[in-house]
């Protein structure tokens, strides 16, 4: 986290800014703060020589060239007859001008106050500009009381430690009544101040222990820096309380120019550009302008922080730069006082995701802040959507806060008043966790079952709503969508039972409680009443729309219910209880019918119709009376339960009831479907729909043997009109949507299926324009469920653009559908490719992506003109493929884009041709080279695929790699970086590849950004050849040797280094010669020759792998520990993983070394792991004398013991 005021100015670390605001920062100032009105050290030396009229001796010139200016002046003073002349010259040259510019020093003074408002500045300058600046701001100030110089310095950390402290002395300033003190100017002066007497070094050392020092106005080679920091660095390892030191330094071209010189003196550099961004003049204005803004922040922290947060967050979140995000991290993570500012500034609701994803605030902050933002205008649909999103993330506390805000809101329209009530009802009844379900199951299994246990079990089966937005969160897009009139226009309530496993377990347990069946039936009926009422509240049950009905394909247990995780669980428990109750108490079971019938929606009526099939609880006439009691919408929409009831109970019903029901079937369907309007130009599908439903119901009566002659005549007429209906009823006929496998067909195919073949294409075109999403998706569902029928619909049609869009859907269905009917789909693909061969190039271009998918997934060996098809598709892709978006995951894009899919298909064909010795090889190779050398997005995506297969291509088409691919992997371009990342993350580095492009491999490792286990695979690519070389057990000639591998490890991200340790441990385990040989021949030379030795590469994430390597060394464990102990990072926040030690025999075989390892990891203050107690017991058992070891005692007192 950091703070940056300008693009070319310094980026202030958040830790430093916090210290500044706490009054814990002291600026150590060099000549740069007085420039340009007073000379810097180099210019001072030049002018002293000029003023004295002397020339440099050769040794002085050499010291001057090396910027050892104090040595130059020391030598000069020894050469002068009167050494004081040099001091007089320096004093004259450093005299404060008559009208000095105090802007820069004034800024330093503003920044240099502690929480008691006292000034504290330390400087090596002799001038009194700082005192002048303070006097200018406060003319009553007595400069002599705050100015200290020479050896008369106040002790750092003391109660009175403040003032302007000249550690190298001060010049006289008559205007401020300040006297002169001895100056530290020459090498002998420096030697006395920092070494012989050491008063300056002691002062700075103490200062570094109580204050955060910031160097300003110095370069890394300045004398004060060299003397001070070299002394300080020697003590840093012995005194851990020494604070971090920062230094401002400038660059001309890039920040490395400023940062590199400080690397040897353990200072954190803060770089800035030395040029004025407006005029281009070298005046260091980016530093001083930004320091002034930092001073504003220091003086008015609250107001300044609010203003900066407001500036960033009032803009769209997508416009936030990385620097903005770093600043926000600093602004928000230290305190929560800016949350009200954010609430007032944010217009773009996506900022809340930014705050959460970057952990800028805590969840408890979000739980009240987002409701507060929403409350600024409750009458906006996008705020409903936002509430739905965050409600699912933040839970009941969010609802409580939102409800409190709503109580304080003014008048809302009826729509918004209801909408917000429904929002509060969403996710309001948390089901609990796995432990809760397990507890319910255990109580039922116990045999002592209370009524509350049954209610808890049934409650687990009730689907609960998770609210999801149907509309975008962005204000502009929401306004385009118009003002909503229904809650369901804005929010989709997804009712579900999330834990299907527990739900099934509960159903099975309830089933084996026959003596409680009536009680379960009663509770479950009440639960279903609540569930349907809640669905109605959420407008998921309306006149022609009932999601709870759609969610239960079958009332009785059926495989079509398998992939519905909502109401079917409750229905299943209810039906099971009803069946058992009907056997023992049929009259009581019968009382449920009326309760179900009154429920909202169709589920209750369907449940009743299913129950009426049971002769124990209803007569045939009662069953048929219920059918007649259905309104037309239910009568013609409920398929399965009506058809099965007709089939099972028709024989029991009286002739009068049968005749009445049959008449309703034959005569009312036409009027029911006539209520649907047919748009102008649309094929009239209504007759087909009516005939399909009539045929199902009449067939049920016919199966029961009670269909009248008039009914038979009507049924025969329907079968004659539609050849595909002239068959027995199949299972799929009972369902509006039917799943033939895991994939659930989504979309209403009924109008397409019911349309006459000649009208089908016209029906499809109308459906895709429908406002009903189910009908829009009808063609997609039809292509998946009946690809042959879909092909026949298009086969004779022209290749108009609307028809080509339908072809795209069909080709996608053929490519991506499940494999249950693979052969039939393959036949359709072959026929489809034959039909499409007649299309023109411009028409093929509209199908290019889908055709590439077909080549990748389909039966290439059966496609006629395959090679010509490959050329046609490639030509189309070159013309249509969009350029790659390098800000995203280009590899994921490539494997799914047309050109990437084609490249993958062509590589497979190449492999088949090589295996078969085909004469098509030259043509295929030339085509692959065409892909590899193509411009634009098509070429980029193809090359990404080739980078993944670079090793294979080098063996088969070497010129493609050498000429077309490798050159494009060089340099800083976006594509080159992507190709390198793909090669190192997904490809294979073989000896041949490493010899051809070692520099590219090295750069790829440095640029990699692995996640998960990718660090291991990347590390293996270059560590393996290096270890092979060290072991001399590879006959291949590799292009990556140990020195290069060592350099790559240093430049790689942390996860790659961690991955290297992981794979090394794995390889050691696999060594056939045993763990000792694995250590001697592999791990030991790896750590000696390859692993980086610098402490900056030691990170906590590597500990567990280092442990595995150490204990995995077997009998070499003591040797391994001595080698590796310096690479362990003592744990601070997370408990260490000690599993590798626990799984080994190290505690018994090497108790001393094991204790040493544990102490190295945990130390006196680190968190302890859960396995620690067991390990300590094993150590004591192996070596009882270690029980009194203070390290073991310290660890033992902190170890977790559960008994």
Helix/strand/coil for 178:
strand
Confidence of residue 264 (pLDDT cuts 50, 70, 90): confident
Q: What is the pLDDT of residue 810?
A: 94
Determine the average pLDDT of the residues in 1083-1102.
90
Q: What is the pLDDT of residue 1080?
A: 92
Looking at the structure, tell me whether residues 23 and 49 fall in a common domain.
no
Determine the average pLDDT of the residues in 350-368.
88
Looking at the structure, tell me whether residues 258 and 361 fall in a common domain.
no
pLDDT per position as a tens digit, 851-896: 999 999 989 999 999 999 999 999 999 999 999 988 888 999 999 9
Confidence of residue 472 (pLDDT cuts 50, 70, 90): low
1008 in any annotated domain: no
Backbone angles phi, psi at 826, to 5 degrees: -60, -40
Contact predicate 40/12, CB 8 Å? no
C-alpha neighbours within 13 Å on the C-beta side of residue 438: 3
247 in any annotated domain: yes
Q: Give the residue from 661, 599, 605, 660 showing the smallest Cα distance to 633.
A: 605
The DSSP line for 776-805 is HTHHHHHHHH-HHHHHHHHHTS---HHHHH
348 in any annotated domain: yes
Looking at the structure, tell me whether residues 70 and 116 fall in a common domain.
no
% of the chain exceeding 90 in pLDDT? 57
20 in any annotated domain: yes
Q: Which of 293, 326, 357 is the last residue before a domain boundary?
A: 293
The DSSP line for 359-406 is T-S-HHHHHHHHHHHHTT-SS-HHHHHHHHHHHHHH-HHHHHHHHHHH
Is pLDDT of 604 > 90? yes
Looking at the structure, tell me whether residues 69 and 154 fall in a common domain.
no
Looking at the structure, tell me whether residues 207 and 139 fall in a common domain.
yes
Backbone angles phi, psi at 164, to 5 degrees: -100, 115
What does the buried/exposed string (b/e) look like for 1080-1111 if buried means 16 or more CB atoms within 10 Å of the residue's CB?
Answer: bbbbbbbbebbbbeeeeebebebbbbbbbbbb
Is pLDDT of 744 > 60? no
Q: Which of 425, 443, 473 is the last residue before a domain boundary?
A: 425
Is pLDDT of 1037 > 90? no
Structure tokens at 588: 């009581």
Give whichever of 326-340, 381-395, 953-967, 1012-1026 has the largest mean pLDDT: 953-967
Is pLDDT of 467 > 80? yes
Confidence of residue 741 (pLDDT cuts 50, 70, 90): very low
pLDDT per position as a tens digit, 808-827: 999 998 987 665 567 888 99
Looking at the structure, tell me whether residues 112 and 208 fall in a common domain.
yes
Confidence of residue 743 (pLDDT cuts 50, 70, 90): very low
Is pLDDT of 274 > 50? yes
Q: What is the pLDDT of residue 745?
A: 39
Question: Which comes out higher in pLDDT, residue 680 or 246?
Answer: 246
Determine the average pLDDT of the residues in 421-439.
69
Determine the average pLDDT of the residues in 340-358.
90
Determine the average pLDDT of the residues in 1162-1184.
91
Phi-psi domain of 1065 (left: phi exceeds 0; alpha: psi -120 through 50; beta: other): alpha
750 in any annotated domain: no
Q: What is the pLDDT of residue 1024?
A: 87
Cβ neighbours, 10 Å, residue 620:
19
| Separation of CA 150 from chain center | 57
Q: What is the pLDDT of residue 430?
A: 47
Is pLDDT of 241 > 80? no
Question: Which comes out higher in pLDDT, residue 121 or 487?
Answer: 121
Looking at the structure, tell me whether residues 44 and 29 fall in a common domain.
no
| Separation of CA 333 from chain center | 20
| Rounded distance between C-alpha atoms, residue 825 and residue 859, angstroms | 10
Contact predicate 288/103, CB 8 Å? yes
Q: Which of 425, 454, 469 is the last residue before a domain boundary?
A: 425
| Rounded distance between C-alpha atoms, residue 111 and residue 299, angstroms | 8
Q: What is the pLDDT of residue 153?
A: 86
Confidence of residue 392 (pLDDT cuts 50, 70, 90): confident
Is pLDDT of 738 > 70? no
Helix (H) or strand (E) holding 13: strand 11-13
Looking at the structure, tell me whether residues 130 and 24 fall in a common domain.
yes
379 in any annotated domain: yes
Calculate the alpha carbon distances from 927 to 73, 906, 924, 986, 1151 in Å. Answer: 74, 9, 5, 23, 65
219 in any annotated domain: yes
% of the chain exceeding 70 in pLDDT? 95
Looking at the structure, tell me whether residues 88 and 110 fall in a common domain.
no
Is pLDDT of 128 > 70? yes
Contact predicate 312/351, CB 8 Å? no
Determine the average pLDDT of the residues in 227-249.
75
Structure tokens at 225: 């820096």
Determine the average pLDDT of the residues in 1052-1078.
91
How many domains, in total, are found in the chain? 3
Looking at the structure, tell me whether residues 21 and 47 fall in a common domain.
no
What does the buried/exposed string (b/e) look like for 31-70 if buried means 16 or more CB atoms within 10 Å of the residue's CB?
Answer: bbbbeeebbbbeebbebbbeeeeeebeeebeebbeebbbb
* Positive/negative CA dihedral, 58, 63, 67, 69: negative
Q: What is the pLDDT of residue 1036?
A: 62
Looking at the structure, tell me whether residues 106 and 58 fall in a common domain.
no
| Rounded distance between C-alpha atoms, residue 816 and residue 1180, angstroms | 62
Q: What is the pLDDT of residue 302?
A: 87
Q: What is the pLDDT of residue 820?
A: 58
Q: What is the pLDDT of residue 443?
A: 87
Is pLDDT of 405 > 50? yes
Average pLDDT, the chain: 89
Confidence of residue 478 (pLDDT cuts 50, 70, 90): very low
Determine the average pLDDT of the residues in 785-790.
89
Confidence of residue 473 (pLDDT cuts 50, 70, 90): low
| Rounded distance between C-alpha atoms, residue 63 and residue 67, angstroms | 6
Q: What is the pLDDT of residue 426?
A: 80
Q: What is the pLDDT of residue 428?
A: 53
63 in any annotated domain: yes
Burial of 397 (0-12, 13-18, 19+ CB in 10 A): middle
Helix/strand/coil for 669:
helix
**What is the domain extent for residue 61?**
39-93
Cβ neighbours, 10 Å, residue 1170:
14
Is pLDDT of 647 > 70? yes
- Running DSSP on this structure, what letter comes out for residue 448? -
Q: What is the pLDDT of residue 906?
A: 95
Task: State the CATH number of the domain containing residue 184.
Answer: 3.40.50.1220
Q: What is the pLDDT of residue 727?
A: 85
Is pLDDT of 590 > 90? yes
Q: What is the pLDDT of residue 742?
A: 34
Strands (E), 968-1094: none
Contact predicate 270/246, CB 8 Å? yes
Q: What is the pLDDT of residue 824?
A: 82
Q: Give the residue from 165, 93, 101 showing the smallest Cα distance to 133.
A: 101
Looking at the structure, tell me whether residues 281 and 418 fall in a common domain.
no
Report angle CA 505, 507, 508 to the nearest 5 degrees: 65
């Amino acid at each position: 986290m950091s703070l940056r005021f300008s693009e070319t100015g310094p980026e202030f670390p958040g830790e430093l800014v916090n210290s500044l605001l706490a009054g814990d920062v002291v600026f150590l100032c060099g000549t740069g703060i007085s420039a340009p009105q007073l000379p810097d050290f180099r210019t001072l030396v030049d002018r002293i020589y000029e003023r004295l009229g002397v020339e440099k001796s050769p040794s002085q010139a050499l010291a001057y060239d090396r910027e050892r200016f104090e040595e130059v002046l020391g030598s000069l003073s020894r050469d002068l007859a009167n050494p004081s002349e040099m001091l007089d010259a320096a004093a004259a040259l450093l005299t404060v001008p008559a009208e000095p510019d105090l802007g820069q020093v004034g800024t330093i003074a503003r920044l240099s106050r502690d929480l008691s408002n006292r000034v504290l500045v330390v400087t090596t300058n002799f001038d009194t500009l700082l005192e002048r600046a303070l006097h200018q701001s406060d003319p009553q100030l007595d400069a002599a009381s705050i100015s200290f110089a020479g050896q008369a310095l106040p002790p750092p950390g003391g109660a009175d430690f403040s003032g302007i402290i000249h550690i190298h002395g001060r010049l006289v300033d008559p205007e401020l009544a300040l006297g002169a003190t001895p100056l530290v100017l020459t090498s002998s002066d420096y030697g006395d101040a920092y070494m012989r007497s050491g008063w300056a070094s002691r002062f700075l050392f103490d200062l570094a222990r109580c204050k955060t020092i910031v160097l300003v106005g110095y370069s890394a080679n300045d004398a004060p820096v060299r003397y001070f920091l070299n002394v300080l660095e020697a003590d840093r390892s012995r005194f851990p309380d020494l604070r971090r030191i920062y230094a401002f330094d400038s660059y001309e071209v890039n920040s490395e120019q400023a940062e590199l010189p400080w690397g040897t003196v353990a200072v954190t550099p803060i770089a800035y550009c030395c040029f004025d961004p407006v005029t281009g003049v070298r005046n260091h204005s980016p530093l001083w302008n930004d320091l002034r803004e930092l001073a504003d922040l220091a003086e008015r922290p609250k107001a300044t922080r609010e203003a900066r947060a407001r500036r960033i967050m009032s803009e769209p979140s997508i416009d936030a730069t990385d620097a903005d995000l770093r600043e926000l991290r600093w602004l928000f993570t230290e305190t929560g006082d800016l949350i009200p500012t954010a609430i007032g500034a944010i217009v773009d609701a996506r900022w809340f995701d930014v705050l959460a994803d970057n952990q800028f605030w805590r969840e408890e902050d979000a739980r009240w802040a987002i409701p507060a933002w929403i409350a600024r205008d409750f009458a906006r649909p996008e705020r409903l959507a936002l509430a739905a999103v965050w409600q699912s993330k933040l839970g009941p506390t969010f609802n409580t806060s939102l409800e409190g805000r709503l109580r304080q809101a003014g008048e809302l329209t009826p729509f918004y008043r209801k909408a917000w009530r429904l929002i509060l009802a969403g996710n309001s009844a948390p089901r609990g966790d796995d432990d809760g379900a397990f507890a319910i199951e255990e109580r039922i299994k116990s045999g002592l079952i209370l009524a509350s246990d049954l209610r808890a079990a049934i409650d687990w089966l009730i689907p609960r709503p998770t609210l999801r937005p149907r509309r975008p969160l962005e204000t502009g897009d929401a306004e385009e969508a118009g003002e909503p009139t229904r809650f369901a226009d804005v929010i989709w309530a997804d009712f579900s039972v999330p834990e299907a496993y527990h739900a099934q377990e509960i159903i099975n347990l309830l089933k084996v409680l026959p003596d409680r069946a009536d009680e379960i039936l009663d509770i479950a009926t009440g639960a279903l009443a609540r569930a349907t009422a809640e669905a109605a509240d959420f407008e998921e049950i309306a006149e022609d729309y009932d999601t709870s009905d759609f969610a239960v394909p079958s009332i009785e247990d059926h495989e079509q219910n398998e992939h519905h995780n909502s109401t079917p669980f409750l229905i299943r428990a209810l039906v099971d209880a009803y069946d058992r109750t009907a056997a023992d108490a049929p009259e009581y079971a019968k009382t449920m019918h009326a309760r179900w019938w009154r429920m909202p929606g169709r589920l209750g009526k369907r449940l009743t119709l299913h129950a009426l099939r049971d002769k124990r609880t209803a007569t045939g006439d009662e069953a048929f009376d219920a059918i007649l009691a259905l309104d037309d919408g239910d009568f013609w929409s409920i398929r399965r339960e009506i058809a099965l009831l007709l089939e099972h109970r028709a024989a029991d019903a009286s002739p009068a009831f049968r005749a009445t029901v049959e008449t309703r079937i034959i005569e009312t369907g036409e009027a029911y479907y006539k209520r649907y309007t047919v748009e102008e130009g649309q094929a009239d599908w209504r007759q087909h729909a009516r005939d399909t439903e009539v045929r199902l119901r009449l067939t049920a009566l016919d199966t029961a043997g009670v269909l009248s002659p008039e009914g038979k005549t009507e049924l025969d007429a329907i079968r004659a009109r539609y050849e595909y209906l002239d068959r027995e009823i199949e299972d799929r006929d009972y369902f509006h949507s039917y799943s033939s496998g895991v994939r659930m067909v989504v979309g209403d195919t009924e109008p397409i299926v019911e349309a006459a073949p000649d009208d089908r294409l016209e029906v499809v075109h109308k459906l895709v324009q429908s406002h009903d999403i189910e009908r829009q998706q009808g063609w997609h569902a039809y292509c998946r469920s009946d690809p042959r029928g879909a092909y026949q619909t298009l086969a004779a049609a022209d290749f108009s653009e609307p028809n080509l869009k339908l072809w795209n859907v069909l080709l996608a269905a053929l490519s991506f559908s499940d494999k249950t009917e693979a052969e039939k789909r393959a036949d359709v693909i072959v026929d489809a490719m034959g039909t499409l061969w007649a299309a023109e190039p411009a028409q093929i271009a509209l199908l290019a992506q889908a055709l590439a998918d077909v080549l990748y997934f389909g039966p290439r060996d059966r496609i006629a003109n395959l090679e010509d098809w490959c050329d046609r598709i490639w030509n189309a892709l070159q013309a249509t493929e969009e350029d790659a978006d390098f800000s995203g995951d280009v590899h994921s894009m490539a494997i799914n884009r047309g050109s990437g899919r084609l490249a993958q298909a062509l590589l497979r064909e190449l492999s088949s041709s090589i295996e078969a010795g085909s004469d098509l090889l030259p043509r295929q190779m030339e085509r692959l080279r065409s892909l590899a050398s193509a411009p634009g997005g098509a070429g980029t995506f193809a090359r990404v695929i080739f980078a993944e297969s670079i090793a294979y291509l080098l063996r088969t088409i070497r010129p493609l790699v050498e000429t077309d691919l490798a050159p494009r992997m060089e340099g800083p371009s976006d594509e080159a970086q992507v190709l390198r990342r793909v090669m190192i993350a997904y490809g294979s580095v073989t000896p041949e590849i490493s010899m051809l492009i070692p520099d590219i491999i090295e750069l790829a490792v440095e640029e990699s950004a692995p996640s998960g286990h990718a660090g291991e695979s990347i590390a293996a690519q270059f560590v393996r050849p290096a270890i092979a070389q060290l072991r001399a057990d590879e006959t291949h000639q590799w292009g990556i040797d140990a020195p290069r591998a060592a350099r790559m490890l240093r430049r790689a991200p942390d996860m790659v280094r961690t991955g290297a340790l992981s794979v090394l441990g794995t390889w050691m385990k696999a060594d056939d010669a045993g763990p000792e040989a694995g250590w001697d021949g592999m791990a030991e030379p790896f750590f000696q020759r390859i692993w980086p030795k610098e402490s900056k590469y030691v990170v906590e994430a590597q500990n567990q792998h280092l442990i595995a390597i150490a204990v995995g060394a077997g009998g070499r464990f003591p040797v391994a520990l001595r080698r590796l102990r310096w690479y362990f990072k003592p744990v601070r926040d997370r408990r260490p993983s000690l599993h590798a030690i626990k799984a080994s025999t190290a505690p018994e075989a090497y108790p001393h070394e094991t204790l040493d390892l544990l102490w190295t990891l945990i130390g006196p203050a680190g968190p302890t792991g859960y396995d620690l107690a067991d390990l300590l017991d094993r150590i004591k058992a192996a070596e009882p004398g270690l029980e009194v070891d203070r390290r073991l005692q310290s660890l033992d007192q902190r170890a977790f013991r559960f008994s």
